[in-house]
Chains A and B, each alone.
Chain A
Amino acid sequence: MNATARLVRAEVRKLFTTRALPVSAVIAAVLAVTSVLIDAAVAGKTGQHPLGSAAETYQMLKLGVLPTVVMLVIGILAAGGEFRHRTIVPALLASPHRARLFVVKVAVIAVFGAVFSAVIFGLGLGTIVGTLAAHGIHHLPAQTGQLYLGSVISGACFGMIGVALGTLTRNTVGAIVAAIGWAVFVEEIVLQTVAPHLDKWLPVGASIGLTNPPSASVLPPLAAGLVLTGYAAALLLLASRTTIRRDIG
């Protein structure tokens, strides 16, 4: 087995030997299922589309945002945790080639993010199919597959963005607070008010373009995927340059 393959196995082992992953997975799974059930419960009531309509099912399918947020946190914990707990020291003693270590971590989180998002979205989709079937409805909107793929891409990209933020800040709590603050306050409140046409070009806006049904206010899926991948690549490039040069104190 070559050095890169060994590092991949070590990174996977790191992921699966802390509590962060199972706790995050359980939270994401519970939220995915309950969000669908809540949407189904309120469907057809005041101001809500009826159950089985395309609009209501699309509302249920917006659950792709869940694995995206969880993967952002997992990415931050995977990279920032190395500095917080100083496990970066034994990691670099075992593998002094920093660029290789960084690339492997990014790749592992990206692949894991894709798989994780596929599983969580699949769980939510299964709940939707079961709920609709229980009401005698046996069809899904045409763009369900596109939203599934968009959620997988969004989860992988936000996992990588998490790694970049964790590496740049070296502070897991600070990075999580900053990321959520950016998403909620800067993109969703400030920019939505001041310059709503800009919002779709920013990371969270691009993610919405991938995980929500197409509309005039979001980017088309292909453009959204390219924009989000571009943000992930730019942040990773910045993080890799600092990581490779920085002294580990």
Chain B
Amino acid sequence: MPAITISHLTKRYGPVLAVDDLSFDVHPGKVTGFLGPNGSGKTTTLRILLGLAAPTSGSATIGGLTYRQLPDPVRQVGAALDSNTFHPGRSASQHLKVIATATGLPHRRVAEVLDLVGLGSAAGRRVGGYSLGMRQRLSLAGALLGDPGVLVLDEPLNGLDPEGIRWIRGLLRALAAEGRTVLVSSHLLSEVAQTVDEVVVLSKGHAIAETTLAELAARGSVTRARTTDATRLTGVLLGAGIQVRLVDGSTIEARGADAEAVGLAAARAGLPILELSRQDEDLETLFFNLVHDRQEVAA
């Protein structure tokens, strides 16, 4: 059963359609990347999921309940939405104690999570003097305060140094390995590629891919073939369900199909293959192309 379910979610701000009939599930025990360029609707979706914004239509639920319906939200869902949700005059410890007091969590938990995120020695300092990376860690500490089974993190790697990025990747993997549900948004696939098991790619408020990272990588496989009649080979490959692009009169590019499949399809059609090669796009290029193609279609 999915821990998070987004179902036909739509959010409209006046004439702007921020989220457009979005549906996807997030499963426990995995880190799910919620990817898309800036302005694609990621943060709006997360705000609706967390009860901070109301959907125009559709629903976003955690364990079948909206955030406001959860009996004990902080112990069930930990969320870090941005790194600027602190009073600059309060210390990290005071900030977390306010949350702990409001939710009935023991104050010893404050010291535990501050140590966990590496802010133990800075716990008494005013947050106004924190670097962006320290504020990110404090956001994460707030999300972990209730030891929740579901974590929702919006761009958690922003502002972290390489050591911090490595640390948070390990932490997210460990949390998922404990059976927790981890949803992490990012506008850079490369940023989370080493961490996520599954990805939901968003563009213009719409999901354009919901798959595993391995399957997404396979879509970046491009086989280039030179033949005597590229137009005919294009028709043959399209008939075989292979996504293909005519490069020129003698060359095609097939996406997501390996060289063997292209070669066999050509052979069955009696078309000679003069040259066959495979290229794998890196994940970031694939991500860019996915989003860019969608945006062009939308435009």
Nearest-Cβ distance from residue A241 to partner chain B, whole angstroms: 14
Q: What separation, in Å, do the CA atoms of A93 and B154 have in the docked complex?
A: 14
Closest A residue, CB atoms, query B51: A96
Q: Are B98 and A247 closer than 8 Å at their CB atoms? A: no
CB neighbors of A among B66-106 (8 A)? 67-68, 70, 73-74, 77, 79, 81-82, 84-91, 94-95, 97-99, 101-104
- Which residues from A are CB-within-8-Å of B104? 1, 3, 6
Q: Are B73 and A96 closer than 8 Å at their CB atoms? A: yes
Q: Are A93 and B89 closer than 8 Å at their CB atoms? A: no
Q: A96-B68, A248-B52 are contacts. A13–B87 as well, Cβ < 8 Å?
A: no
- Which residues from B are CB-within-8-Å of A86? 82, 84-86
Q: What separation, in Å, do the CA atoms of A14 and B52 have in the docked complex?
A: 21
Q: A85-B86, A89-B52, A247-B54 are contacts. A94–B99 as well, Cβ < 8 Å?
A: yes
Q: Are A14 and B82 closer than 8 Å at their CB atoms? A: no
Q: Are B85 and A87 closer than 8 Å at their CB atoms? A: yes
Interface size class of B (residues with CB under 8 A): 20 to 34
Q: Are A94 and B52 closer than 8 Å at their CB atoms? A: no
Is A135 in contact with chain B by the CB < 8 A criterion? no
Instruction: Summarize A's interface: helix, strand, loop or mixed.
Output: helix
Q: Are A90 and B52 closer than 8 Å at their CB atoms? A: no
Q: Are A96 and B67 closer than 8 Å at their CB atoms? A: yes
Q: A17-B90, A86-B82, A90-B85 are contacts. A247–B53 as well, Cβ < 8 Å?
A: yes
Checking A1, A18, A90, A97 against B142 with a beta-carbon cut-off of 8 angstroms, the contacting residue is A90
Q: Are B53 and A91 closer than 8 Å at their CB atoms? A: no
Q: Are B103 and A249 closer than 8 Å at their CB atoms? A: no
- Which residues from B are CB-within-8-Å of A19? 89
Nearest-Cβ distance from residue B85 to partner chain A, whole angstroms: 4
Q: Are A92 and B52 closer than 8 Å at their CB atoms? A: yes
Q: What separation, in Å, do the CA atoms of A96 and B73 have in the docked complex?
A: 8
Nearest-Cβ distance from residue B164 to partner chain A, whole angstroms: 21
Q: Are B142 and A247 closer than 8 Å at their CB atoms? A: no
CB neighbors of A among B217-241 (8 A)? none
- Which residues from A are CB-within-8-Å of B97? 13
Q: What separation, in Å, do the CA atoms of A9 and B84 have in the docked complex?
A: 24
- Which residues from B are CB-within-8-Å of A96? 51, 67-68, 70, 73
6 A-B pairs (CB sep. < 8 Å): A9-B101, A9-B102, A10-B98, A13-B98, A95-B102, A248-B47
Residues of A whose CB lies within 8 Å of any CB of B are 1, 3, 6-7, 9-10, 13-14, 17-20, 81, 85-87, 89-97, 245, 247-249
10 closest pairs, A vs B, by CB? A10-B102, A247-B53, A248-B52, A10-B101, A86-B85, A96-B68, A94-B102, A89-B85, A17-B94, A18-B89
